[in-house]
Amino acid sequence: MKAVRIGRIIPILKKEIEGFHMPIVSEIALRKDPFTVLISCILSLRTKDETTAAASKRLFREAPTAKKLAAVPVKRIERLIYPVGFYKTKARRIRDIAQVLIDQYDSRVPNTIDELLKLHGVGRKTANIVVTIGFNKPGVAVDTHVHRISNRLGYVKTKTPEQTEFALRAKLPKKYWMVYNDLLVTWGQNICRPISPLCSRCAIREHCSRVGVGVSR
């Protein structure tokens, strides 16, 4: 297996993804608002980016703050966010989260992973994304793309995204923590796909051990 030189890979990916769309949650993060990052991240779970983008736009046009969201009936939220995956469950969940933020956090999104994890429905990936792109603080957000590519490269050897997060916290230089998720998610959506990755077009192929890759293009 090749030695993975992550310090060489990161600059290549930064240059290569310039022509691709960034993940929708990262686009929403340009607003510099942790609340919209948190809610859009929850909406994005098991949902395509374009669907999340449209749903987030409709929702935040009507309820851009915790106080306004908590005042919207669940049925109305369902209509605003449809057809995101599990929209009925998510409608109740984000409304409940908005109320908890009002009652326990003075309507503000907490800025630590431990506090974010106390919110029902917020997992480690979401908490890390909110911390990194919502508050500009170090974190390691790991979704299926980050988990898959980190293992394909041979950079880590893990079985679950949570294991990958802690492996990366131990190994990945901290200066790369905040960009790692965006880079690998974008690369995973466009080049290093789950099935039949586009290895012939991959700019980091020479650095990759291609662990578990059978068929590629």
Q: Is CATH 1.10.1670.10 the right assignment for the domain spanning 6-22+140-207? A: yes
Stronger pLDDT, 204 or 3, i.e. the higher one = 204
Task: Assign a CATH topology to domain 24-135.
Answer: Endonuclease III; domain 1 (1.10.340)
Q: What pLDDT sits at residue 187?
A: 96
The closest of 209, 213, 203 to 3, measured between CA atoms, is 209
- What is the average pLDDT across 30-48? 89
Global confidence as pTM: 0.89
Please give the Cα distance from 126 to 43 (Å, whole number): 11
pLDDT at 180 over 70: yes
Q: What pLDDT sits at residue 133?
A: 87
Per-residue pLDDT reduced to its tens digit, 143-168: 999 999 999 999 999 999 999 999 99
Judge whether 6-22+140-207 and 24-135 match in fold: no
Per-residue pLDDT reduced to its tens digit, 105-128: 999 999 999 999 999 999 999 999
Q: What pLDDT sits at residue 177?
A: 96
Q: What pLDDT sits at residue 121?
A: 92
The overall average pLDDT reported for the chain is: 94
**Spans of all domains in the chain:** 6-22+140-207, 24-135
